Amino acid sequence: MSGMQSESQSEKEPEFDWLQLRTEIDSQHSDVSAQDKLLRKVKENPLVPIGCLATFGALSYGLWSFRKGRHQMSQYMMRLRIAAQGFTIVAMMVGIAASATRSKE
């Protein structure tokens, strides 16, 4: 009987480990607002918002050009949008790699 009790206790422990971890994480960051977190992320990796704005700008101007009948400019802006999206993805990956190496140190 005691063997079955120890098995059921060991099965229950891992189930609640993530709850304890989540509680610890939430208690560490509960005083940080969403705006503070956004500003901190922008300061850590300013290239991502720049890439997002470039993507949005190219998309907007490309759609406007298409509506006005300037198909050549529209095609150019859609290609620029793809390049800006690629830049944003690369900036995100570099930021993730940089934060991962900083956390190890």
Summarised one tens digit per residue, pLDDT across range 80-103 is 999 999 999 999 999 889 888 887
Crossing angle between the packed helical segments 47-68 and 71-104, to the nearest 10 degrees: 170
Q: Are residues 9 and 54 located together in one domain of the fold?
A: no
> Within this chain, do residues 57 and 76 fall inside the same structural domain, yes or no?
yes
Pair (20, 39) in one structural domain? no
pTM to 2 decimals? 0.64
Question: pLDDT grade, residue 58 (50/70/90)?
Answer: very high
Which DSSP helix (H) or strand (E) runs through 31? none
In this structure, the number of other CB atoms found within 10 A of the CB of residue 88 comes to 19
Where in the sequence is the domain holding 84, given as residue range(s)? Answer: 32-104
70 and 89 in a common domain: yes
Residues 11 and 57 in one domain: no
Say how far apart CA 105 and CA 103 lie, in whole Å: 5
Do 12 and 60 reside in the same domain of the chain?
no
Q: Report pLDDT for 26.
A: 67
pLDDT in tens, 77-86: 999 999 999 9
User: Is there a single domain that holds both residue 26 and residue 42?
Assistant: no
DSSP state of 29: S
Give the pLDDT band of residue 20 (cuts 50, 70, 90).
confident
62, 81 contact by CB (below 8 A): yes
> What local confidence, expressed as pLDDT, does residue 15 receive?
62
Question: Is residue 46 domain-shared with residue 90, that is, in the same domain?
Answer: yes
Count of domains for the chain:
2
Closest Cα partner for 75 from 85, 83, 65? 65
3-class secondary structure, 96: helix
Q: Please give the pLDDT value at position 92.
A: 93
Among candidate residues 28, 93, 19, 81, the one with its CA nearest the CA of residue 56: 81
The reply to whether 46 and 80 lie within a common domain is yes
Indicate whether 70 and 59 sit together in one domain.
yes
